[in-house]
Amino acid sequence: MSMPSAGARGVVPGTVLRGRGIVPGIVRAEALVSPETISGWGGIDPARGTIIERRHALFGVCFTGKVLVFPGAKGSSGWSGFFQSTRLLGTAPAAMVFTTVTTKAVLGAVVTRVPTVSELDRDPVQVIRSGDIVEVDADAGTVTIVG
C-alpha cells in the first residue's frame, strides 16, 4: 500500500487541522482561501456571492458553495448582515474557516448558518490552498484536506 504523496507545498491529503467548532455541521467542498481579511459591508456583493472590495486579492471571485478560508472579518458590525443576506439569497459559502475569532466573524457565521471552525492548531490560510477539497466537521472541530 503506497502512502499519498505531498504536493508542492508539502501538505498530504488527509492532513487534519484541529480547532473549535463555532457553528455545527459537516460539509465537503472546494476551498477558497483569502490571504487577507474580508469586509462585509462594501466588501462583498451578497446577490452574486462575490468579493467586490477593489484592493482585495480575491476581487471579483465568487465564494458561493465554497469553503471560505480567511484570516477574519474586518469593518463594521454590518459584516454579519451582509453574510446573512448571502444565505437568504442562496449565495452563501458552504462553510467558513477563519483564524481570528471576533464577534463580527462569529455572528456572521451564526446567521449564515454554515459549518464553521476557528482557533485551529495551524494557520488554515497557510496550509489550505484554493482548489483543495476540504471537509469541515464543525461538530468535531476539524478541517481535513481531502485532496
**b/e map 16-50, b = 16+ CB within 10 Å:** ebebebbbeeebebebbbbebbbbbeebbbbeebb
Identify the active-site residue in 5, 39, 76, 118. Answer: 76
Cell triple for 90: 442562496
Q: Quick check: is 85 catalytic?
A: no
Cα 20 from Cα 129, distance rounded (Å): 20
Which active-site residues does the annotation give? 76
